[in-house]
C-alpha cells in the first residue's frame, strides 16, 4: 500500500493596506467577542490601514492567495522590545498553524529591525491565545488588571520572548 504524504499548506504575508480593509474588518469581527472589542466600520478600518505609521505594520497572512488572518506589529520605534498588538485568524482557519506562522514571521521581522525582545498581551479568558504563546516559547512576565477595547477592566497577561541570535 502506498503511503500518502500530507502536504503542508503554503502561507505567506502581504502588507495590509487600505484595499485590504474588508479582510481585516471581517477577521476582527469574527474574533471581536474574544478580543473584547467594539464594532469598527469599514471606513474606520480603511483610515487605520491608510496611515503611514513608522511605529506599526499591518499584514495579512494568506494561505495560497486567500487571506486568512490579520497581524499587527507595533512598537517599531522602541529601542528594546516590539509588540504583536493584534493577531486574529479567520474562524474557519483556526488551529491550522496560521497563528504559529504569524508569530514566527513577527519574530523574524522585528529581529531584522534590531530588536532582542517581542511581547504580546491577552486577557485571562483567551485560553487559545495563551496556549499559542506558550507553545511558541513566550513566558508570562505580568498578570494584571487591564482595560480592554470595550472599556471593561479584566485580568490579562503579558507574554515576552527573548529572541536568540542565530
- String of DSSP letters for the chain: -PPPPPPPPPEEEEE--GGGHHHHHHHHHHHHHHHT-----HHHHHHHHH---TTEEEEEEEETTEEEEEEEEE-TTSSSEEEEEEEEE-GGGTTSSHHHHHHHHHHHHHHHTT-SEEEEEEETT-HHHHHHHHHTT-EEEEEEEEE-TTS-EEEEEEEEEEPPP-
**Residue 34: pLDDT band with limits 50, 70, 90:** confident
How far is it, in rounded angstroms, from Cα 143 to Cα 123? 9
Structural domains of the chain ordered from first start: 11-162 (3.40.630.30)
pLDDT digits (tens, 9 = 90+) for 75-90: 999 888 999 999 999 8
pLDDT digits (tens, 9 = 90+) for 106-136: 999 999 999 999 999 999 999 999 999 999 9
pTM: 0.88
Amino acid at each position: 500500500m502506498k503511503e500518502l504524504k500530507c502536504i503542508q499548506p503554503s502561507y505567506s504575508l502581504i502588507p495590509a493596506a487600505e484595499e485590504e480593509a474588508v479582510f481585516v474588518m471581517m477577521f476582527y469581527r469574527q474574533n471581536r467577542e474574544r478580543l473584547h472589542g467594539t464594532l469598527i466600520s469599514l471606513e474606520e478600518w480603511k483610515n487605520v490601514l491608510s496611515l503611514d505609521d513608522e511605529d506599526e505594520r499591518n499584514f495579512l497572512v494568506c494561505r495560497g492567495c486567500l487571506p486568512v488572518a490579520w497581524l499587527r506589529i507595533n512598537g517599531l520605534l522602541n529601542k528594546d522590545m516590539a509588540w504583536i498588538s493584534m493577531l486574529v485568524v479567520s474562524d474557519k482557519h483556526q488551529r491550522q498553524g496560521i497563528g504559529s506562522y504569524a508569530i514566527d514571521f513577527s519574530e523574524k521581522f522585528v529581529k531584522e529591525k534590531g530588536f532582542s525582545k517581542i511581547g504580546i498581551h491577552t486577557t485571562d479568558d483567551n485560553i487559545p491565545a495563551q496556549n499559542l504563546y506558550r507553545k511558541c516559547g513566550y513566558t508570562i512576565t505580568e498578570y494584571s488588571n487591564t482595560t480592554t477595547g470595550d472599556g471593561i477592566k479584566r485580568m490579562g497577561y503579558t507574554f515576552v520572548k527573548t529572541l536568540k541570535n542565530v
